[in-house]
Amino acid sequence: MKDFLVRWLMIPVLLLTFAGAAYAQLEVIITDYVGKRAPVAIVPFGWEGDTPSAPFDIDNVITEDLKRSGRFAPIAEGGMLQKPTERVDLDFDDWRILKVDAVIIGKVVQTGANVYSVQFQAFDVNSQEQLIGYRMPASRGTMRRVAHRAADMIYEKLTGIPGVFGTKVAYVTARGTGDDRLYTLVVSDTDGENQFTIMESTDPIMSPAWSPDSRELAYVSFEGDAATIYVQTLRSGNRIKVSSRAGINGAPAFSPDGRKLVVTLGGLGGNLDIYVLDLATRQFSRLTRHRAIDTEGTWAPDGRSIYFTSDRSGGPQVYRIEVGGGTAERVTFEGSYNARPRLSPDGKRVALVHLDRGNYRIGVLDLDDKDLLIVSNGTQDESPSFAPNSDSIIYATREGRNGVLEMVSADGLYRQRLGSRAGDIREPVWSPFPRY
């Protein structure tokens, strides 16, 4: 490995609070940042409706999203020389003085009892050209999603990278001790809002995995002191038991077409191997046959091969095997411990757990040049999962006795923590892009 000596610049801990949230179990704390943030202005949105103020603070959500991305420094509202809500009122000189690169304006117009129209425009201050303009219908119930979508569109226009503010994160929490321990499978927005309990149990819940259409989660539950893999539909809450063989049923991951799961089965003899389960026919096909531990399978985005963890060489390392079978090929060589591979959706990199001089940290392996970059700095970091734009990774780390979540840019330069007041949080998995 090249000597990636990343100089972490600690900035003061920043607590972002969210207007209108009665409580939030997760809150965003920017922990580390290296690099330039582009100054932008998000002007408070206008409001045309039959109440004194808008039912939802759209521009605040956009501001927080852009701030959280690590690439932008939205200027404070108090410093703005004008607060236009339409193009005709926009004076670029007032923004050039403030040295902002882009200015974003918009308004919310009420057109019915619970019918609104949200419009926004982003302008390049230097060229004075519109970068994007868009209008979306909304109701009070969809306002937050509309705001995240607006932020996603603006982010993509400004950076060339699709935004992930409208995506979700699934994770597992554990609270209490002994017989009172309660495990919960939760889905929330990536800013910690909109938490939704998918499943709750006094027995452990593990290894959540999104279906590619983001309608379902596969997970492992130990109800009745046996490992079982379920696939649960989020909207209905219905779940199907898809694997409950003797011994271990673990580590599910959906194929890119959503029709199959790669799973780990142990059987009565307890020899963990990788299997592919066809969800329509319920047929298992065995992919590895080795007396070592083979587990943590995950599909390459092209659907043709599966990456997995195996300790056939002594310690755990990442291997790759064609879905049609064949010989497993070793992928990682650096260090004594590389496990839990997850591919970036663009197929270029593998995030994994790497033992780095006594600390378990998140590594990003470039599949082209084989460089391994360590992007986390905890002692027991685990469960990396790529954002659908391949640009960020979410993982679990420790804060005292509790697990908390962190997000890091795939280049390791920007990191933020999702702080917790809700016990031990683990196994975050980033959803696919939402369907619009």
Partner 1 sequence: MKFSRLIALCLVALLAAGCGGNTMPDPGTDDGTMMDDGDMADTDGFEDRGLGDGEFLDEFDDSDELTMVIYFDFDQSTLRADYADLLQQHASNLANDSRSQIRLEGHADERGSREYNIGLGEQRSQAVRSLLLIQGASAGQISTVSFGEERAAAFGSDEESYELNRRVEIKYVN
Question: What residue ranges bind partner 1 (CB under 8 A)?
Answer: 177, 204, 206-207, 222, 225-227, 246-248, 250-251, 264, 266, 268-270, 272, 293, 295-296, 309, 311, 316, 337, 339-340, 353, 355, 360, 379-380, 382-383, 398, 401, 426-427
Q: Rounded distance, CA 229 to CA 243, Å? A: 5
Could you write out the three-class secondary structure of the chain? CCCCCCCCCEEEEEECCCCCCCCCCEEEEEEEECCCCEEEEECCCEEECCCCCCCCCHHHHHHHHHHHCCCEEECCHHHCCCCCCCHHHCCHHHHHCCCCCEEEEEEEEEEECCEEEEEEEEEECCCCEEEEEEEEEECHHHHHHHHHHHHHHHHHHHHCCCCCCCCEEEEEEEECCHHHCEEEEEEEECCCCCCEEEEEECCCEEEEEECCCCCEEEEEECHHHCCEEEEEECCCCCEEEEECCCCCEEEEEECCCCCEEEEEECCCCCCCEEEEEECCCCCEEECCCCCCCEEEEEECCCCCEEEEEECCCCCCEEEEEECCCCCCEECCCCCCCEEEEEECCCCCEEEEEEEECCEEEEEEEECCCCCEEECCCCCECEEEEECCCCCEEEEEEEECCEEEEEEEECCCCEEEEEEECCCEEEEEEECCCCCC
**Residue number, 191 or 424, with CB nearest to partner 1:** 424
Shortest distance (Å) from residue 214 CB to partner 1? 22
**Residue number, 103 or 422, with CB nearest to partner 1:** 422
**Residue number, 253 or 323, with CB nearest to partner 1:** 253
**Residue number, 67 or 354, with CB nearest to partner 1:** 354
**Residue number, 104 or 404, with CB nearest to partner 1:** 404
What are the angstrom distances between the C-alpha of 177 and each of 182, 276, 396, 424? 8, 35, 20, 11
Shortest distance (Å) from residue 219 CB to partner 1? 12
Shortest distance (Å) from residue 281 CB to partner 1? 25
**Residue number, 55 or 247, with CB nearest to partner 1:** 247
**Residue number, 59 or 294, with CB nearest to partner 1:** 294
**Residue number, 65 or 273, with CB nearest to partner 1:** 273
Task: Tell how far CA 374 is from the center of its chain.
Answer: 18
Given its phi and psi angles, is residue 109 left (phi above 0), alpha (psi -120 to 50 degrees) or beta? beta
**Residue number, 57 or 427, with CB nearest to partner 1:** 427
Shortest distance (Å) from residue 173 CB to partner 1? 13
Shortest distance (Å) from residue 415 CB to partner 1? 20
For 95, how many CA atoms within 13 A lie in the half-sphere containing its CB?
27
Q: Rounded distance, CA 136 to CA 149, Å? A: 10
Shortest distance (Å) from residue 8 CB to partner 1? 22
Shortest distance (Å) from residue 412 CB to partner 1? 20
Shortest distance (Å) from residue 411 CB to partner 1? 23
Angle CA 318–386–372, to nearest 5: 45
**Residue number, 54 or 364, with CB nearest to partner 1:** 364
**Residue number, 27 or 427, with CB nearest to partner 1:** 427
Shortest distance (Å) from residue 66 CB to partner 1? 34
Shortest distance (Å) from residue 26 CB to partner 1? 20
Shortest distance (Å) from residue 429 CB to partner 1? 12
